[in-house]
């Protein structure tokens, strides 16, 4: 179950418990103006840096992290995941992110992992036994590449994370109500996941039957997590495109939009 908090408005999952803070942001409760009104958390969206900083300060004050503790992804629709640590705090907000990585993970407390979305799928992971967290951006390409499974594998390799211990939350993203695609997307999912993907590809009816599909990115990522051995998976029911006044949606506004952020941090 996801809970809504105010202000600024953000969501949490009650599947993620223990000595950890996390959130999925909305676009409400920030200081940005115009088409970025108001809780824009992206630094490359045309916003004033001071607005973005203030938005992180407000969100962090409510959730329990500092802007100075954040570490950003640099998202390019890959399945690249990278281990980060305290030395990386401030990367993104205060200095450029160098390597491309759509997922980041750490076992160090006080490191606030941040991934971005505006229709793509944000995924947060917490291992309460080995004390590790991850933030993952999964667009349809990253979903087809299985980035969620790659990240669980990396946490197992580096920290000894047992997948059965992992708490997972799949946040608001474009839903199968709105994510109309051509054949290439379901074909990529079937190539990667086989027939188990079929229930989540939703072929269009009527004239577009066989040509258009409505894939369920949240459930496809949940399938990858189950394949990785994760059992506790919370899935948001919110569609970003259905609620453009509440979430940033690339399909609604194109590039003239802010960024949502999903954040997770082990408490110190
Ligand atoms: Zn929708």
- Ligand 1 centre distance from Cα of residue 199 (Å): 18
- The whole-number pLDDT of residue 64 equals 98
Distance 129 CA to ligand 1 centre (A): 36
- What is the structure's pLDDT at 21? 98
The values of phi and psi at residue 266, to 5°, are -70, 135
Question: Over the stretch 189-213, which tens digit does the pLDDT of each residue have?
Answer: 999 999 999 999 999 999 999 999 9
Q: If you average pLDDT over residues 6-34, what whole number do you get?
A: 97
**Distance from Cα 242 to the centre of ligand 1, integer Å:** 4
Compute the average pLDDT of residues 27-41. Answer: 98
pLDDT for 152: 98
Query: How high is the pLDDT of residue 98?
Result: 87
Q: Domains in the chain, please, with CATH? A: 2-173+225-266 (3.60.140.10), 180-215 (no CATH)
For residue 166, the CA-to-ligand 1 centroid distance in Å is 28
- CA–centroid distance, residue 261 to ligand 1 (Å): 19
Q: How far is the CA of 132 from the centre of ligand 1 (A)?
A: 32
> What is the distance between the alpha carbons of residues 100 and 218, in angstroms, rounded to a whole number?
23
CA of 180 to the centre of ligand 1 (A): 10
Give 265 Cα–ligand 1 centroid separation in angstroms: 29
Which residues have CB atoms below 5 A from the ion given as ligand 1?
175, 177-178, 239, 241-242
Binning pLDDT at 50, 70 and 90, where does residue 122 land? very high
Using CA atoms, how far apart are residues 125 and 15, in angstroms rounded to an integer? 10
Q: Measure 117 CA to ligand 1 centroid, in angstroms.
A: 15
| pLDDT tier at 81, thresholds 50, 70, 90 | very high
Ligand 1 centroid from CA 64, angstroms: 30
Ligand 1 centroid – CA 164 distance (Å): 31
Q: Tokens in use for 57? A: 């300060």
Stretch 155-180: mean pLDDT, rounded?
98
Q: pTM for this structure?
A: 0.98
């Amino acid at each position: 179950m996801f809970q809504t908090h105010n202000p600024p408005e953000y969501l949490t999952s009650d599947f993620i418990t223990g000595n950890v803070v996390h959130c999925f942001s909305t676009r409400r409760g920030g200081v940005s103006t115009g088409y970025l009104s108001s809780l824009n958390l992206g630094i490359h969206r045309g916003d004033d840096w001071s607005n973005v900083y203030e938005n992180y300060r407000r969100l962090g004050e409510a959730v329990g992290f500092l802007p100075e503790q954040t570490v950003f992804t640099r998202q390019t629709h890959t399945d690249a995941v990278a281990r980060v640590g305290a030395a990386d705090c401030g990367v993104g907000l205060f200095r450029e992110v160098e390597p491309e990585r759509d997922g980041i993970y750490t076992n160090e407390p006080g490191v606030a992992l941040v991934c971005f979305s505006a229709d793509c799928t944000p995924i947060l992971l917490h291992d309460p036994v080995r004390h590790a967290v991850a933030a993952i951006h999964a667009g349809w390409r990253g979903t087809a590449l299985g980035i969620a499974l790659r990240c669980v594998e990396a946490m197992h390799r580096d920290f000894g994370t047992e997948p059965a211990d992992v708490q997972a939350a799949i946040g608001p993203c474009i839903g199968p109500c709105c994510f109309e695609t051509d054949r290439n997307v379901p074909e990529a999912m079937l190539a990667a996941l086989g027939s188990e993907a079929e229930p989540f590809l939703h072929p269009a009816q009527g004239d577009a039957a066989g040509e258009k599909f409505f894939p369920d990115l949240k459930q496809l990522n949940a399938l990858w997590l189950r394949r990785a051995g994760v059992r506790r998976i919370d899935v948001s029911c919110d569609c970003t495109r259905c609620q453009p006044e509440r979430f940033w949606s690339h399909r609604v506004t194109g590039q003239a939009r802010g960024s949502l952020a999903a954040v997770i941090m082990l408490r110190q």
